[in-house]
A and B are shown apart, each in its own frame.
Chain A
Amino acid sequence: MFDEASQQAFLQEFFSENREALDRIERGLLQLEGAPTNRDLLNSVFRDMHTVKGNCRMLGFERLEELTHSAESLLDLLRDGKLLIDTMISNSLLEVMDGVRRTLQIIEKTGKEGEVDFASLIFQLAQFQGEGLQDQKENPTEMAESSLHVLPSDTGGSSRTDAESSPARMDSIRLPIERLDGLMNQVGELSAMFNQLKYAITRNPAQVEHALEGLEQQIHGLQGEVLQYRLQPIGRILETYHRLVRDLAVETKKKVVLELHGEETEVDRNVLIAIKEVLGHLIRNAVDHGIEPPADRVEVGKSPVGRVRLSAEQKQGQIYLEIVDDGRGIDVARVRAKAIDKGLVTPVQAMELQESEIMKFIMAPGFSTVEQVSKISGRGTGMDVVQAAIDKLGGSIAISSQYGVGSRFRLRIPQTMAIVPVLSVVALGETYAVPQMNIIELISYYGHEVARHVEGKMQAPMVRVRDRLLPLISLRQTLTLADGEHGETCLVKQLQVRPELHIVVLQADDKMFGLEVDGIKEPSNLVVKPLNKIFNNISILAGTTVMPDGSIAFLLNVPALLYME
């Protein structure tokens, strides 16, 4: 009886309402593991499952209805206290979540449920219900305690993969219709401005500049508006880690609580997608390498339950993320020894470095202080991959740790990567864009001033900016990589005899350095696009952008410039 448009609207509501309910159920199930008798939680999980079932029935998705119906019946017994939730039941119900989510994706793509088969899962759910009706003589509390951390070995692996692939759903967003109307208005004014400009060009040249300014303002407004919609609360991905931590804890026979703070912090969705894996990596590390087994923790006077705290906050266009665990911490002495052993640093240098700098070595490729290779996070866990991902985003990471007490990973990433304020510079006749957030100041020296400010220290060129001596990196040389021919002493001399020297003083990872360029051009706000895949292994480039004259320029990855040296 419903027309096409209504049916589409129902389907959209079906997806979004069910997904919201599924998220709540999943969170509830995880919380129930720590509080298996919490009636309010049980009630709300039951109700949400009931809603999902009802929705599936209304739109005639019979297989989903059957599955959620048996889950609901099981929850009904739990709610009435006839059965107590334990890890096995919880696993099955989480599997139901995964099954429903997968099916929703299928429906979204094909409009039909397809050939999904939940028979074995439904059988499993029915068996628990049988137990609930028969085993009422058994002391329920004891039953839950004893089975809380026992898990059949064959389900452990599969549940983990499900948790990791658990979609954070960032491929679609919901907007109230008024917002779309607002956008439409702005587009309308944009066309009006365009018409004014067109008119001015042909009929009234004196008005061209005025019309252009108006157009610029409108575009600016539109940009800001659209950017606003791209911002998503980071909670959308943080929530998914509850499941990850839970599955990891079961697998490693540890007890871990994940605490989230600042879920409402808004981040550009592209940045969200990019950091999802990075955070997952760091959390896996924290649980796998950081948190000790319960017995070990008790021995050193800690609570048997480990804590991982993940917090997010936004400050001046930057997002700060912190992953803190109260595990065994990182042994700096061991990291230092290993760095020397691997030839990353000489023993003399190693003694001079500060603890925070030593810690950075764990981000180096193939670096690991854990002798055993773990199935969860592997050896060295690709911390170099984490570093690379953060660099690409124009962010940074700082590590601090107290051996025996815990570790802290602090990430800084820009809130958006879509529109970046940049400064254009020139090297070898090409234009490159430098993110403004890395720039401290611009300096140009002319004539005899040049030689006075460029020095060589241990063969490396340095620039004296007022009283500070900063490393000097030549963009031209970095791009040509032609250091083999004339060595760096020669570079110092080359630089010293230049008639003019243009330097962009930059900061990355708390280090300042000078970037020598052939010329400095104007600042602008540019729409940055991700790099084409073929440039992926060129670490000093972070993206591409179209310059005002229509040419294409690369955005420089500032931290990578520093590490090229």
Chain B
Amino acid sequence: MDTKTVLIVDDSNLARMMVRKIFAISFKEWRVIEAKDGEEALSMATSEIHLALLDFNMPGMNGLELAERLLGQCPKITVYLVTANIQERMSQRAESMGIGFIKKPISENKIYDIVKGVL
């Protein structure tokens, strides 16, 4: 079984804990790394990361800015923004860059849909 890596970026400890747990229970082949803001995430970004799940509201840069910079650094990463409400303007800008959306709250099913698309 090939190990893949997912980067979770969220300023909420609780949110990171829950996503990590979902991966630990249902997607065991995934290695989970975490960052609490965009700055930290960019410092961890490598080509070994397959998937990034980014919170939108964070201190420093927001999730969309981070997504753009992350893709600039490592274009192969599949990036999803995790938000509660998606604004029209934002979603157009994101989709044009191939960034997907997950509606909060995050769940096992939603992750399953994404994970099976990442090969």
Contacts and interface: CB of A to CB of B under 8 A. Distances in A.
Interface of A: 1-2, 6, 9-10, 13-14, 17, 44, 47, 50-51, 54-55, 57-59
Interface hub of B13, B26, B108 (most chain A Cβ within 10 A): B13
A13 B17 contact: yes
Given A1-B25, A57-B104, A51 B17 contact: no
B13 A13 contact: yes
Contacts of B106: 58
Please give me the 4 A-B residue pairs with the lowest Cβ-Cβ distance, nearest first. A13-B14, A50-B57, A51-B12, A55-B14
B21 A58 contact: no
A54 B17 contact: no
A44 B105 CA distance: 22
A17 B10 CA distance: 13
Contacts of B11: 47, 51
A54 B13 contact: no
Contact of A10 (B18, B59, B84): B18
Interface string B10-34: 0111110110011001100000000
B58 interface: yes
Contacts of A6: 21
A54 B21 contact: no
A57 B13 contact: no
Contacts of A10: 14, 17-18, 21
Nearest to A44: B59
Interface in B57-73: 57-59
Given A57-B104, A58-B105, A47 B57 contact: yes
Given A1-B108, A10-B14, A10-B17, A54 B84 contact: yes
B16 to A, nearest CB: 9
Given A17-B13, A17-B14, A54-B104, 8 more contacts: A1-B25, A47-B57, A50-B57, A55-B12, A57-B84, A57-B104, A57-B105, A58-B105
Given A1-B108, A10-B18, A17 B57 contact: no
27 contacts: A1-B22, A1-B26, A2-B21, A2-B25, A9-B17, A10-B14, A10-B18, A10-B21, A13-B14, A13-B17, A14-B14, A17-B14, A44-B59, A47-B11, A47-B57, A47-B59, A50-B57, A51-B11, A54-B12, A54-B15, A55-B12, A57-B104, A58-B14, A58-B15, A58-B18, A58-B104, A59-B14
Nearest to B24: A6
Interface of B: 11-15, 17-18, 21-22, 25-26, 57-59, 84, 104-106, 108
B102 to A, nearest CB: 13
A129 to B, nearest CB: 16
B62 to A, nearest CB: 10
A51 B36 CA distance: 12
B104 to A, nearest CB: 7
Contacts of B22: 1
A14 B104 CA distance: 17
Contacts of A13: 13-14, 17
A296 to B, nearest CB: 43
Contacts of A2: 21, 25
A58 B97 CA distance: 28
B110 to A, nearest CB: 13
Nearest to A51: B12
Nearest to A3: B25
A44 B57 CA distance: 10
A388 to B, nearest CB: 43
Contacts of A44: 59
B5 to A, nearest CB: 22
Contacts of B21: 2, 6, 10
Contacts of A17: 12-14
A10 B19 CA distance: 11
Nearest to B62: A47
Contacts of B26: 1
A17 B57 CA distance: 16
A17 B11 CA distance: 10
Question: Among A9, A10, A58, which residue has the most Cβ atoms of chain B within 10 A?
Answer: A58
A108 to B, nearest CB: 15
Contacts of A1: 22, 25-26, 108
B105 to A, nearest CB: 5
Contacts of B84: 54, 57
A49 to B, nearest CB: 10
Contacts of A55: 12, 14-15
Q: Which of B18, B25, B105 has the most CB of A within 10 A?
A: B18
A59 to B, nearest CB: 8
Contacts of A50: 57
B63 to A, nearest CB: 12
